[in-house]
Amino acid sequence: MRNLDKFPGAQVNGKMRLPRDNNDMLQLWRVCEYFQFKSFLEIGFNAGQTFGLFLDSTIGDDTKYVAVDNDFERNQDIVDSIFGGHPKRKNIQFINVDSRNLELSEKFDFIHIDGNHSYEFVLNDLQKCLPLMHDKTILSMDDTLDHGVNKVIEENLLGQNNFVPFLAGNKQILFRHTSNDLTDFLNKDLRTNFDDFVTFDVWNYHGFSVVKMHVPMFIEDHQEIFNLALQTYNI
């Protein structure tokens, strides 16, 4: 988690940079650290923040990481300086393509959809990813407060295609296959070392019981306090 400070965050109009969402990054970190997935697919690389988290949260030398974006040149300095010399560079595949033209056939353990948030693109990304998922795959949908993302979820993921929501942050929701029982993880392992500064609630999301994770605002909004919490609890 501490290595996220290497990343400047997302760009808007090539100038303004948005701060990272500490709560949702912490949530992704715990999920990836716990399950130690062997293959990752991310649609929407942008500044490489979540992609870097995927690399640093997993310890296997044989894990595969695939990043899809239609404009890696926008953040070429990050690609070169951070990922170019990364110890896992041989495990990384960058695919520079409009996701509507993406062609993959292999299965992935973890898929993160965070590309263009318009309905057309989100639906395309999900449709491209569904055949790449198996019954242990975890699917992460980011920016779910956006209308396009939310509509695709309502129409295609709430109990459909055998995937249901199980964990939510501020703006991301994670989905599991209906046969993948994660009760023990949600009730115990997710919360290890988090209970002193993270709250967990049961959220009724369109009729589905979802664990909602929330870092208190005074920690979320003050980077130095958040970093201190990470250090204190060895995260």
Q: Which CATH architecture has domain 2-232?
A: 3-Layer(aba) Sandwich (3.40)
d(CA 181, CA 133) in angstroms, rounded, equals: 16
Residue 210 has a pLDDT of: 97
Nearest to 19 by CA among 170, 194, 147: 170
Residue 235 has a pLDDT of: 78
How confident is the prediction along the chain (235 residues), in pLDDT tens digits per residue? 556 666 555 444 444 344 468 899 999 999 999 999 999 999 999 888 899 999 989 998 899 999 999 988 887 887 888 888 888 999 999 999 999 999 999 999 999 999 999 999 999 999 999 999 999 999 999 999 999 999 999 999 998 899 999 999 999 999 999 999 999 999 999 999 888 889 999 999 999 999 999 998 888 888 888 888 888 888 7
Distances (CA, A) of 109 to 13, 136, 139: 33, 7, 8
Residue 166 has a pLDDT of: 97
Distance of CA 97 to the CA centre of its chain: 20
d(CA 25, CA 205) in angstroms, rounded, equals: 21
The domain limits of the chain are 2-232
d(CA 220, CA 21) in angstroms, rounded, equals: 8
d(CA 213, CA 23) in angstroms, rounded, equals: 8
